[in-house]
Structure 1
Amino acid sequence: MGSLFEELEAREAAARVRVEELETEVAELVGRLELSRAGLERLRVTRETVAEVLAEMNQGVSVAVAGAGQSPVGERVVSANAGAERQVVGVLTVPNWQPGMLPEVLPSVYRDIVEVVADAPGPVRAKQIVPRIALPAETGKIEGTRSKLKRLVERGWLDEDTPGMFTPARHRAAASPNSR
């Protein structure tokens, strides 16, 4: 009968070791969970702070824009997680061109596009711009660039006299004789 008790003691020792291993894993997971919770909290606070700042900025922009007879600033953003659409107020990635504005105020990809169009000897198409801004000549990249070109036309940075053919905006050429 001694062997039965020895077997039970061996199993108890093995179970104790397994419990200790699991407790170590749980402690490690609790530490990782706390780090993730802290990161989540930082993101939540950042999002709320940005929303407050944009709301305050929008109050000032709405007054100025309303006086200029334009619609309020804002672009639609689609949330990748929930699929819900929300209005981001006060953010305009590509600002409307105004006298004295230089391409440096644009996001880098838009600035690159404006520079390529300005350096071209004549009107250019989206598929001609894509390789010059270091993108692969794939349909998706060309269409994305075409969308950016249309936005630049809409905001006064470029002209599109012939569909699909883009040139520097005339007011920029008149304001800066060295733009070509």
Structure 2
Amino acid sequence: MVFVPEELQAREIAARQRVEVLQAETEELGLRLEKAREDLSRFQITRETVEQVLAELSDVEAEPEVPVGDAPEPNESPAPHGVGVMMVPLWREGLVVAVLPDVYRDIVEVIADAPRPVQAKQIVPRIGLPTTAGKIEGTRSKLKRLVERGWLDEDVPGQFSLARQGPDADQSNSR
């Protein structure tokens, strides 16, 4: 024969355990929901910022070119860069290294101080990065971008030097 108060007590304990398990799951879901909301917010802010920066950059690019006499002086600070957007402008007469993002400026300065063309693996420690394969390849990518934009030359594959700029510059800059 079943004793009713004991059976009720056993069912109450089982129900309490189910409530505790569900409450723990609810708290876990609440934490996951909050994390997902934070991620969504960050993505929305990032997208809006990128759209704003790109709109501002397209406005700047649409402006007429600055005459050589009106080029910014080297001691003037460059325009601030957008969050997450690194812009390496095409080199043109009168443009100074100060317009480059910091890491690109550091790379150009290291190359300017070198007595002969240098490789990416020689630049990495000089700009304060560890000499890992990833950092070397990332730097090589930046060097190639600087070559494409006219700031550097790569006459021998993997050997980078300052670009020969100006009206008498040789057009042998490799891409």
Alignment correspondent of 2:15: 16
Provide structure 1 residue ranges, at least 5 long, that are not aligned to the other structure. 69-90, 173-180
1:157, CA displacement in angstroms?
1.9
Q: Which residue of 1 aligns with 2:37?
A: 38
TM-score normalised by structure 2 residue count: 0.63
| Equivalence for 2:28 | 29
Give the equivalent residue in structure 2 for 1:88. none
Q: Which residue of 2 aligns with 1:60?
A: 59
- Mapped partners of 1:16, 1:136: distance in 2: 58
Residue of structure 2 in register with 1:125 after alignment: 119
Large movers: runs of 4+ above 6 Å: none
Q: More helix by proportion, 1 or 2?
A: 1
Which letter does structure 2 place at the counterpart of 1:95?
P
TM-score scaled by length of structure 1:
0.61
Equivalent-residue separation in structure 2 for 1:27 and 1:118 (angstroms):
60
Change (3 A) 1:24 1:133: same
Q: CA deviation at 1:52?
A: 4.1
AA of the residue aligned to 1:112: D
Counterparts of residues 132-143 of structure 1 (less than 5 Å): 132-143=126-137
Q: Distance in 2 between matches of 1:59 and 1:52?
A: 10
What is the CA–CA distance in structure 2 between the aligned matches of 1:29 and 1:21, rounded to whole Å?
12
Counterpart amino acid of residue 56 in structure 1: A
Question: Number of matched residues?
Answer: 148
1:75-90 superposed matches below 5 A:
none
CA gap of 1:12–1:145, structure 2 versus 1, over 3 A, is: same
> Measured at CA, do residues 94 and 36 of structure 1 come closer, stay the same or move farther in structure 2, by a change above 3 Å?
same
Q: Distance in 1 between matches of 2:55 and 2:128?
A: 38
1 or 2 for the larger relative contact order (CA 8 Å, sep ≥6)?
2
Which structure dedicates a bigger proportion of its chain to strand? Answer: 1
Residues 34-64 of structure 1 show CA distances to partners (whole Å, capped at 9, x for unaligned) of 4235324423532452354246335524634
* CA RMSD of superposed structures (Å): 3.3
Match of 1:71 in 2: none
Distance 2:36 2:140 in 1: 41
3-state SS of the aligned residue for 2:155?
strand
Q: Find the aligned partners of 2:115 and 2:54 in 1 and give their Cα distance.
A: 43
1:169 to 138, 142, 163: 163
**40 and 114 in structure 1: CA distance in 2 versus 1, 3 angstrom threshold:** same
**Percent identity over the alignment?**
45
Contact 2:152–2:163 under 8 Å retained in 1? yes
Structure 2, unaligned stretches of length 5 or more? 67-84, 167-175
Please tell me whether the aligned partners of residues 86 and 101 of structure 2 are also in contact (alpha carbons under 8 angstroms).
no
